[in-house]
Structure 1
């Protein structure tokens, strides 16, 4: 049987529902979605078969290292390229 958890949500001007800016309940709290170390936040939902994970600070982290921030900003993939000799 699945246990249900109530997520903190907000209704936007268009009437759609979105997650709050942070789902973090850790002590100490995880980095915010606007901080430079935002990828260090805990994973709250992982879907490796689809190539993404949701972090507790509301960031969607994609396997290509791209990110979608809670406010809708897109962070381009930033993985290091292999050096070919």
Structure 2
């Protein structure tokens, strides 16, 4: 699967977006990670099983309630 030295987190793990990028398409707004997750510039994710993730809990950790 991955050929780099570190092990990528599985697509179901909370840290799945820390996997190594394989393909970047900034003009289209997405990046394919080595664990099969597609990360979109608008903070959405598409998991290999087709599940859509619309928010990233780790991105909201520093946000204040407004």
Please provide the CA RMSD for this pair.
1.9
Moved over 4 A (4+): none
Aligned partner (choices 27, 30, 50) of residue 49 of structure 1: 27
1:37 maps to 15
TM-score (norm 2): 0.79
Higher relative contact order (CA 8 A, sep 6+): 2
- What stretches of structure 1 of length at least 5 have no aligned partner? 1-22
- What stretches of structure 2 of length at least 5 have no aligned partner? none
1:73 maps to 51
TM-score (norm 1): 0.63
Larger Rg: 1
**What is the alpha-carbon distance in structure 2 between the residues aligned to residue 28 and residue 46 of structure 1?**
20
For the pair 1:27 / 2:27, whether they are aligned, the reply is: no
Q: Flag the structure with higher helix content.
A: 2
